[in-house]
Amino acid sequence: MAAGMMKAGVRAQPHRSALATLVALVRTVLFQIAFLGGSLLLVPLALILGLVAPKGGGFLLFIGPKLWAGWFRLTSRAITGIRIEIEGDIPPGPHLFALKHESALEAILTLWWFEKPAVVMKQELRRIPIWGLASARHGSIFVDRSGSAGMLREMMRQAQAAAASGRPVVIFPEGTRVEVGETPALAAGFAGLYKMLKLPVVPVALDSGSVWPKSFIKYPGTVHLKVAPPIPPGLPRAEVEDRVHAAINALQAAPSGAGA
């Protein structure tokens, strides 16, 4: 499988002036105040609604996470100046969505882009006070990244239950957040989910790391999402991995949309 790291011609972090960085810092601080302030209300609300929601879910179970992700989308756009452009259509119903993962931005916005998603995420997030409980109640699939056989079986059991109830399953198939330009091989869990769920897989490329790096400061600009056509179930492992790997990295050679 072609999975190079920082090859010639791939995206790199843009150069920014000291003034642009200072302005971005101020906007980031204001964003953090607004977003975290709203989260102090919306996250407990999501937990309460989830606890009183009837068995099997329904409106009450999913409205809280949607509101929280919507607040994130609003504040990140209005204050930090980050916009989202989506190329292609996100199909409804149960699919296996495989996303590039460069920042926390897409991890939160999965709750906005997809309808009632079951998102595969690292186990450490389960320990965040209140948020972890609310996320677990919503149906997030927490996995231990050590990759044990027991962990993989539990991930597949939860994903199968979510798909059976008509929910899409969302996974970051590279296994972790990566730096701009990195294109690591897919983690083993993706192939297992694809084989077991027997769902079409929809790869989604994105370039969020240029405006939302791991550092504290976030920068204005445009995050591009490129939704590839669904890949049918039942393909050999090597073929589906190669196709998904190529599709989620389709924007790696594109110029960044970040503002100066």
CATH code at position 217 = 3.40.1130.10
Q: What is the pLDDT of residues 74-97, one digit of tens each?
A: 999 999 999 999 999 999 999 999
Residues 155-175 have a mean pLDDT of 93
Kindly state whether residue 6 falls inside one of the protein's structural domains: no
Kindly state whether residue 200 falls inside one of the protein's structural domains: yes
CA of 77: how far to CAs of 81, 101, 142, 146, 175, in Å? 5, 19, 28, 35, 27
Kindly state whether residue 216 falls inside one of the protein's structural domains: yes
Name the domain count of the chain.
1
Where in the sequence is the domain holding 95, given as residue range(s)? 83-248
Kindly state whether residue 128 falls inside one of the protein's structural domains: yes
Kindly state whether residue 49 falls inside one of the protein's structural domains: no
Question: What pLDDT does residue 147 have?
Answer: 64
Q: Residue 257's pLDDT band (boundaries 50, 70, 90)?
A: very low
Report pTM. Answer: 0.90
Sign of CA dihedral 124, 125, 128, 132: negative
Residues 152-161 have a mean pLDDT of 89
Question: What pLDDT does residue 56 have?
Answer: 65
Q: Residue 229's pLDDT band (boundaries 50, 70, 90)?
A: very high
Element (H, E) at 82: strand 82-87
- Of 111, 127, 131, 128, residue with least CA distance to 119: 111
Cβ proximity of 10 and 209 under 8 Å: no
Asked if residue 254 has pLDDT above 70, the reply is no
Q: Which residues, at least 6 apart from 114, have a Cβ–Cβ distance to it below 8 Å?
A: 90, 97, 168, 170
Kindly state whether residue 207 falls inside one of the protein's structural domains: yes
Top mean-pLDDT range of 9-23, 50-64, 228-242: 228-242
